[in-house]
Structure 1
Amino acid sequence: MSSNPTRRGVLAGFAAVPILAAPSVVHAFGDALPVEREQTGAMRNISSFTRRKWEDHFEQIGVGAIVCDVASRAVHFWSPQGNYHIFPSSVPKTDELTKRGYTEVVRKKVGPDWRPTASMLETDPDLPRYVGPGPDNPLGTHAMYLGWPAYLIHGTHDTRKIGRPSSSGCFGLYNEQVASLFPMVEIGTQVRVI
């Protein structure tokens, strides 16, 4: 067995710990984690984990605050008490699919179902019209719906998407991490996509 940590292991272990509890982890990686080469030699995308401050994005923390950071491919969360957590995420495939600005969490669902949007069906007419909760669902185990229609923070069963531009506008997290974030996020939590 190799003693070298895997990319997934480093990301999962790092993001599962609140940053305030482990500032040395952030310092050890600086602004970027190492990038692995696949057998093909192609670079694998990985989050750069740029540390954020809620005060740079919101006037008050309220019931909580989330910054979805496209550049660092991470979701940052602050509880009402100011506890800070950071999770690696998938991000939209293109700038055209990325809606930036301010919104809020308007609904939460454990075991979400999924229907493709009209634009998704235009791009891929072979997509299923409906997927119920379970291992084939693109929304994973938990979903937090934003004030913008069809934009969510959710889990994913396809862990290859994390740290990559791979979504149609949403931010996907490892199922284990979205499950830990989900109970901390209240309806009305403010969200900024940058």
Structure 2
Amino acid sequence: MKKPMTCDRRGFVTAGAAFLFAPQVLRAQTEQVIRRNISSFNLHRWQEHFDSLGQGIIISDTNTMVLQHWTSDDEMRVYPTSVPLTDDLTRRGYTEVVEKRENPGWAPTPSMRERNPEWPEYVPGGDPTNPLGTRALYLSWQYYRIHGTQDTRKIGRRSSNGCIGLYNNQIEEVFDRVPLGTQVKLI
């Protein structure tokens, strides 16, 4: 026959302590996950890629999906990005900012039209469906841009057709700080 369960003072205190400390144990487990994610975040030193700051530097790392921008006075800021869907859409190497546009219009490249013939021929600037967002930095490579996006779900993902995307408020900040001739490296 089973012995009936009894509750004495010691059992009551032990159960109460377990109840009170359970949230801290769960929180500690969550903090470990966050620490692992943060430790995988890797920043670059501009000196490893360029001889001088010049008018400024942008390094965009397509693996960690991070853009670093240094001004000519060596102030650096970091931004999360979207990157190209596949490696064959990704161009890496040195380029520079050759043009800046507010509310840029967008037209798919010939290769985009081949892959997606249903896409419109042109989307004007300011249109909520415009994939370039509110600002664009045009690079010396044809068709490549660093631009904003209306679709914030794309940031932190492989989601573009070759460009580097930022949140609209962040590309606006970069746009205001970047002069023409800023050195750029995509790695």
- Structure with max Cα Rg: 2
Match of 2:133, SS state, is coil
Match of 2:124, SS state, is coil
Among 111, 126, 132, which residue is 2:118 paired with?
126
Matches within 5 A, 1:110-125: 110-125=102-117
Counterpart for residue 181 of structure 2? 188
| Structure 2 unpaired stretches of 5+ | 1-33
Deviation (angstroms), 1:52 = 1.4
TM-score normalized by the length of structure 2: 0.79
Matches within 5 A, 1:14-163: 32-33=37-38, 49-134=41-126, 135-163=128-156
Deviation (angstroms), 1:49 = 3.5
Aligned Cα root-mean-square deviation (Å): 1.5
Counterpart for residue 44 of structure 1? none
| Structure 1 unpaired stretches of 5+ | 1-28, 35-47
Corresponding letter in the other structure for 2:64: S
Deviation (angstroms), 1:50 = 1.4
Instruction: After superposition, give the CA deviation of every residue in 1:9-53 in whole Å (9 maximum; x if it has no partner).
Output: xxxxxxxxxxxxxxxxxxxx767349xxxxxxxxxxxxx541111
Instruction: After superposition, give the CA deviation of every residue in 1:90-143 in whole Å (9 maximum; x if it has no partner).
Output: 001111001110000000000100000010011010000000012111000000
Among 156, 159, 165, which residue is 1:166 paired with?
159
TM-score normalized by the length of structure 1: 0.76
- Deviation above 4 Å: which 4+ runs of structure 1? none
**Partners in 1 of 2:139 and 2:36 — Cα distance?**
28
**Partners in 1 of 2:60 and 2:79 — Cα distance?**
10
Higher normalized helix content (fraction of residues):
2
**Partners in 2 of 1:176 and 1:86 — Cα distance?**
13
